[in-house]
Chains A and B, each alone.
Chain A
């Protein structure tokens, strides 16, 4: 796959998507959704999917555009969540009690620094190492949080964490929280769409396809990659802040190895070639997570998720989004044929 093909391909598609009625339709649907859905569907399904989608987006951005699959994005998000619990309020009374407008930037800064740190380690090695290194670092952070009581409060973690009451609204209520999550998700979605077309994003994709050539062309490969990790850290950080507000609590279980894998599953099932994939995967995952027990019981949920993941990896490397596009394309050709 040559540099030119990839980059022009993506940007052209992105351009066509921006103006397509489908995009506007989905946007309208997302805005109207909480007005028709129950509070449970708004908060527990909608809000949760948007949060997981944002965190998965940070993974799929790194993987899709940078060619670096990071399993530690949930750890970065978790770190941001811990910062919110430690610097803000928690029910153990051990929080510093700083206001949200101070805590949230610190949290995002922490997750960004974490992500950059992981990135600096990962980019020193071959691409495929990244997945192992990030898995190991993610588990290391989990173990640290579980063992450390002075900072992370060990296995119990923190509870009683709530978003602020602002402009007369309790941002924990389903409707405001949903729109907050939607806003954050939209900002990062648009940011990734924009970056994919900007010179930085084009260079990043070219580096993914052939780092040696880009280095020869005078690009600073390391700087581009580190910048990508930083961006992913910011997205994960905001996702983590929302996640800790959503759960109202955080503990090592939030960043355990299963959760790291969940984020990967979401990103891959949705499709990493487009920012929308992460959110599609998240909606799918949350629906399954919530309702599979009604259909088939909880016992074999992991088999279902695993088989689904395998099927996607084996048969549709571009994820659900790829399937959808294939379907649309074949539909379009059939339509034009008539």
Chain B
């Protein structure tokens, strides 16, 4: 898209240059006066990008399932919360956080496969009914999880090797004695971002460079044709649904460690995924990444600079995208 016109390219280059300058330079008085301290700006951008990593983890599973099966899984948030609860229970029981992460992924993935095999296979092609079923599942799941884990707030003990803050190369200010004040940032959030990038790249590689990815992409374009060419579509579907659901559970544990786990988080992350994929483009992994970045930044900038309407900002972006590019930024026209 960037290469479409030289003007746009120049504009983007200028924006990038401005951003780099904002991060690297010592801010002059007038700038601090206009938009607040450099610390606030740099921290907010960092927060936006790391939150985007989390949103991408949740939304990529959602978009993957939709891309292949046209199934709008409105129980995706429930899978997120379920994975988080299971992950917490396992991590607490075993004492190993990583086992909890794996358990969250596996538990949610298993539920996803069961949902696909037991329910959705029976109503293939009836997208609306599938969506309604997912709404029903999310209502029941939320209430049953409330019954099992109660309304308490759970917090993972972050493992020591992920805890604490690290020094970033960005200088926020200079003390009167000339010493630089570097920006410190929570290590864990950076690790989440790295994990999101690794998983994102991995998904992209699997989809674009492997046989199974080829089958999935073929399925997205023409399900009947794929089936006719001898591929067991049901297995492909179950695997994809399992991975999509597992990613939600994985994100549940990872996100729950960054913040906490409590009832209501299911709806929050479902909505985040919805907005991310509507903005980015349904069914596209790259779209999910772009959407997550936009929404994460918008949310955090809103919280820092105008908290009153910050929460509405993400939805304004969504409506604007729908109005001007209904298929989403990276989506293909219907």
Chain A residues within 8 Å of B, Cβ to Cβ: 67, 69, 121, 124-129, 131-133, 135-137, 139-140, 143-144, 147-148, 257, 261, 264-265, 268, 299-303, 305-307, 309-310, 313-314, 317
Contacts and interface: CB of A to CB of B under 8 A. Distances in A.
Contacts of B274: 132, 135-136
B263 to A, nearest CB: 11
B141 to A, nearest CB: 8
Identify the 5 closest CB pairs spanning chains A and B, nearest first: A306-B139, A140-B315, A306-B140, A310-B136, A124-B326
A313 B185 CA distance: 48
B131 A131 contact: yes
Contacts, number: 107
A147 B315 CA distance: 14
Contacts of B133: 310, 313-314
A147 B308 contact: yes
Interface string B286-323: 00000000000000000000001101100110110011
Given A129-B282, A136-B271, A261 B135 contact: yes
A303 B128 contact: no
Contacts of B271: 135-136, 139, 257
A143 B311 contact: yes
A139 to B, nearest CB: 6
Contacts of A121: 319, 322-323, 326
A125 B316 CA distance: 18
B139 A268 contact: no
Contact of B139 (A143, A144, A261): A261
B131 A128 contact: yes
Contacts of B147: 299-300, 303
Interface in B216-275: 267, 271, 274-275
B192 interface: no
Contacts of B205: none
B144 A303 contact: yes
5 contacts: A124-B322, A300-B143, A302-B143, A303-B139, A309-B135
Nearest to A68: B128
Interface string B99-114: 0000000000000000
B140 A313 contact: no
B72 A132 contact: yes
B43 interface: no
A262 to B, nearest CB: 10
B103 to A, nearest CB: 25
B322 A317 contact: no
A134 to B, nearest CB: 11
Nearest to A305: B139
Given A128-B131, A307-B140, 10 more contacts: A69-B131, A125-B326, A129-B282, A131-B128, A135-B74, A136-B315, A144-B312, A148-B309, A257-B267, A301-B143
A143 B316 CA distance: 12
B278 interface: yes
A125 B128 contact: no
A301 B326 CA distance: 38
Interface string B123-145: 00001110111011101101110
B325 to A, nearest CB: 9
Give the secondary structure class of B's interface: helix
Contacts of B140: 302-303, 306-307, 310
B137 A137 contact: no
Given A128-B72, A132-B274, A302-B143, A264 B135 contact: yes
Nearest to B139: A306
A147 B311 contact: yes
A271 to B, nearest CB: 13
Contacts of B144: 303
Contact of A309 (B70, B136, B322): B136
B139 A69 contact: no
B3 interface: no
A143 B319 contact: no
B327 interface: yes
A207 to B, nearest CB: 16
Nearest to A311: B136
A225 B174 CA distance: 62
A131 B128 CA distance: 9
A179 B14 CA distance: 66
Contacts of A301: 143
B80 to A, nearest CB: 16
A261 B143 CA distance: 14
A256 B325 CA distance: 28
Given A309-B135, A310-B136, A139 B315 contact: yes
B334 interface: yes
Given A306-B140, A314-B133, A140 B319 contact: yes
Contacts of A268: 132
Contact of A136 (B136, B275, B311, B327): B275
B326 to A, nearest CB: 4
A305 B144 CA distance: 12
A39 B129 CA distance: 39
A261 B131 CA distance: 13
